């Protein structure tokens, strides 16, 4: 039961305090966040793994990825193992909760989605633009509907990276598993690109991120469809659009939940110049952000309920720190 309690308290901790905002990069809490620390380390060591020979650089990319994963995950495993073995269980649980919370981001995105809705509803496009941060696009010229689309796309995409995949790896591999996923996902976010600079050094990071997210992505897509049904949204259309449009995005994984969300809302989501998901049947109004939030929240809840027997079974067979 302690491991189930750790999961619930880690999520509760995030819902209460959230993550530091990337709009305030000078904050000590932002600078000490694991994703920032991992990203800073990657930025420092990346030049040492670069090479003019593509094959050598690809091999170096493997070494880079494995080095970063090991340097952050092994200390977590051994520290938690020591805490569990030599100190009261409460101390072990305290540190496990903190570490697991650091892999999950729910509150910050929720606050931003609600702020974007409020700004868009009052036609304050300038304020609304700053909440398109997660979508990795130039937000300077975005229209109201494009901002709405970017916020909804981010919520669907980040269901995987910042919420359900960390929980999935915690279910099977404990807190260390969640940390390993966080490192893999940060590696992909830092160097897993197809541009000239990163296509060799970052191929391994991109590949293992795709593999790590493969199963959680497809579970999440099914749960989005179920959630849209339970909430009275377009569940049949959600499944239809997910099957039809998932391959339109550059990512092999993220197209699934984004397409499913577009179908559930019966709208068209678009990243200009890259992809269009869904059909333009209904207006992409700010209210769609709130509906997407409800679908996202219920999807998280269903995933947590699904996690409970997995946690019990895996901890029954073997202990995972």
| Nearest in space to 182 (alpha carbons), one of 274, 293, 76 | 76
> Given this model, what pLDDT does residue 149 score?
94
What is the pTM assigned to this prediction?
0.92
> Given this model, what pLDDT does residue 56 score?
96
Using the predicted structure, report yes or no on whether residue 319 has a pLDDT greater than 70: no
| Nearest in space to 271 (alpha carbons), one of 134, 140, 149 | 149
Question: Which residue matches tokens 């160097």?
Answer: 191
Each residue's pLDDT tens digit, 253-299: 999 999 999 999 999 999 888 899 999 999 999 999 999 999 999 99
What tokens appear for 265 in the block?
């809302």
Whether 284 contacts 151, CB under 8 Å: no
Question: Crossing angle for the helix pair 107-121 and 287-317, nearest 10 degrees?
Answer: 170
Using the predicted structure, report yes or no on whether residue 201 has a pLDDT greater than 80: yes
Question: Which residue matches tokens 């790896």?
Answer: 169
Each residue's pLDDT tens digit, 14-27: 999 988 877 777 78
Using the predicted structure, report yes or no on whether residue 29 has a pLDDT greater than 80: no
With 0-12 / 13-18 / 19 or more C-beta atoms within 10 angstroms meaning exposed / middle / buried, residue 55 is exposed
> Given this model, what pLDDT does residue 22 score?
75
Rounded Cα distance, 117 and 75, in Å: 41
> Given this model, what pLDDT does residue 30 score?
79
SS3 labels along the chain: CHHHHHHHHHHHHHHHHCCCCCCCCCCHHHHCCHHHHHHHHHHHHHHHHCCCCHHHHHHHHHHHHHHHHHHHHHHHHHHHHHHHHHCCHHHHHHHHHHHHHCCCCCHHHHHHHHHHHHHHHCCCHHHHHHHHHHHCCCCCCCCHHHHHHHHHHHHHHHHHHHHHHHHHHHHHHHHHHHHHHHHHHHHHHHHCCCCCCCCCCCHHHHHHHHHHHHHHHHHHHHHHHHHHHHCCCCHHHHHHHHHHHHHHCCCCCCHHHHHHHHHHHCCCEEECCCEEECCCCCCCCCHHHHHHHHHHHHHHHHHHHHHHHHHHHHHHHCCCC
What tokens appear for 163 in the block?
């919420």
Rounded Cα distance, 270 and 202, in Å: 26
> Given this model, what pLDDT does residue 316 score?
75
- Provide Rg for the chain, Cα atoms: 20
Rounded Cα distance, 176 and 166, in Å: 10
- Average of per-residue pLDDT across 105-115: 94
Confidence category of residue 62, pLDDT binned at 50, 70, 90 = very high
**Is the C-alpha dihedral spanning 264, 266, 271, 273 positive or negative?**
positive
Each residue's pLDDT tens digit, 115-141: 999 999 998 988 888 887 656 667 777
The proportion of the chain whose per-residue pLDDT surpasses 70, expressed as a percent, equals: 98
Using the predicted structure, report yes or no on whether residue 190 has a pLDDT greater than 80: yes
């Amino acid at each position: 039961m302690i491991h189930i309690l750790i999961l619930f308290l880690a999520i509760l901790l995030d819902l209460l305090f959230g993550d530091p905002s990337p709009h305030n990069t000078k904050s000590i809490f932002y600078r000490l966040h694991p994703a920032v620390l991992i990203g800073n380390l990657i930025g420092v060591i990346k030049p040492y793994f670069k090479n003019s020979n593509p094959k050598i650089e690809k091999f170096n990319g493997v070494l880079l990825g494995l080095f970063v994963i090991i340097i952050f995950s092994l200390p977590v495993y051994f520290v938690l193992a020591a805490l569990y073995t030599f100190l009261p269980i409460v101390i072990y649980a305290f540190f496990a909760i903190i570490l697991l919370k650091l892999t999950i981001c729910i509150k910050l995105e929720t606050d931003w989605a609600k702020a974007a809705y409020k700004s868009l509803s009052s036609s304050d496009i300038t304020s609304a633009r700053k909440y398109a941060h997660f979508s990795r696009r130039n937000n300077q010229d975005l229209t109201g509907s494009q901002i709405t689309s970017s916020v909804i796309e981010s919520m669907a995409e980040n269901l995987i990276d910042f919420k359900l995949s960390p929980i999935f790896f915690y279910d099977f591999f404990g807190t260390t598993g969640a940390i390993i996923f966080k490192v893999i996902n940060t590696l992909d976010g830092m160097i897993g690109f197809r541009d000239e600079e990163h296509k060799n050094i970052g191929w391994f990071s991109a590949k293992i991120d795709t593999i790590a997210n493969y199963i959680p992505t497809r579970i999440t897509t099914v749960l989005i469809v179920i959630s849209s049904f339970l909430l009275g949204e377009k569940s049949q259309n959600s499944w239809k659009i997910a099957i039809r449009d998932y391959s339109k995005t550059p990512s092999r994984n993220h197209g699934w939940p984004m397409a499913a969300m577009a179908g559930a809302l019966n709208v068209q989501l678009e990243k200009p110049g890259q992809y269009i998901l869904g059909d333009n049947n209904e207006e992409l109004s700010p209210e769609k952000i709130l509906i997407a939030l409800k679908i996202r929240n219920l999807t998280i809840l269903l995933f947590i309920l699904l996690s409970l027997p997995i946690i019990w079974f895996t901890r029954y067979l073997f202990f995972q720190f």
